[in-house]
Amino acid sequence: MTRIKGANVLVTGGANGIGKLMGERCLLEGAANVVLWDINEENLQKTTQEFNKKGYRNVHPYIVDVASPDDIEKTGTEVLLDVGNIDILFNNAGIVAGKKRFWEHNRKDIEKTMSINANGVMHVARVFLPDMLKQGHGHIINIASVAGIINNINMSVYVASKWACLGWSESLRLELEEEMGDFHVTSVTPSYIDTGMFKGVKAPLLFPLVQPEEAVDKIIDAVKKNKIFVRLPDTVGLVPILKGVLPARTFDFVAKVLGVTKSMDSFQGRPKDEMIPEKGKKVSK
């Protein structure tokens, strides 16, 4: 059982969406410190002030670009000095390019998506894992996606990034399980979560939009119980089974009938209003 009470927790993408909700839940559970990483300074300040008004003074916000390994290493060192070792790491930050076909993506779309969704989670974990290993315990939660287990039209680059994230997450779990200590990795594979990131998508049959609060409830419960997977909604668990037993063309047909391949046709996403801040700057509380 992973204890959140008394733990140092870090959440990437912690200024809004399920990142913000997971941070608040950890505060409610009695975390010693909650470190919030986000690239959006305005949202980070608002979230920190909101938590402070609720009486939480153990919130530590940092502006971080998880697409930058240098930024991750610099800010990670600051966190270790300011707060101490991280016990629970939520790799939550992610983006979706929101393009149509693969060939409509430009170089920046591809590099940024892979840098955040795939490389970013690895670099963040790499910074904090050595101290987790020294202290003999740690729990890493990687927010992947059902896109990590099912191919889809109009999101090929996002799918690639989440397949990479999920494959790495599972391999990391096996490696840590061979170490002497109390180490855990939880891989989360949600369908579309109703946070605004996938605004405009049409939820497929059997895979309704997941409400953020429901997602956070299941993720936090999984952390406490050291679960290996969190699938949201539960019907996502059918995907690997169907892919394992059906011929590829038959599975493609089933996905089409369920509306999976048309789900991104009306995609809008969040407005592009993110601020690009000074690297590694800590936000005033």
Following CA atoms 121, 123, 124, 125 in sequence, which dihedral angle do they give, to the nearest 10 degrees? 80
Pair of tokens at residue 225: 């119980």
CA neighbours closer than 13 Å in the CB half-sphere of residue 119: 15
Calpha distance 140→125 (Å, rounded): 8
* 192 belongs to the catalytic site: no
5 exposed, middle or buried (CB, 10 Å; 0-12, 13-18, 19+)? exposed
Question: What's the sign of the alpha-carbon dihedral 174, 242, 219, 162?
Answer: positive
Q: Which of 56, 62, 158, 192 is catalytic?
A: 158
**Residue-by-residue DSSP string for 4-65:** -TT-EEEEETTTSHHHHHHHHHHHHTT-SEEEEEES-HHHHHHHHHHHHHTT---EEEEE--
Pair of tokens at residue 145: 């996606």
Q: Residue 236: beta bridge partners? A: none
Strand segments (E) across the chain: 8-12, 33-38, 59-63, 88-91, 137-143, 182-190, 229-232
First to last CA, the chain: 32
At residue 138, what are phi and psi to the nearest 5 degrees?
Answer: 170, 150
Give the catalytic positions in this structure: 158
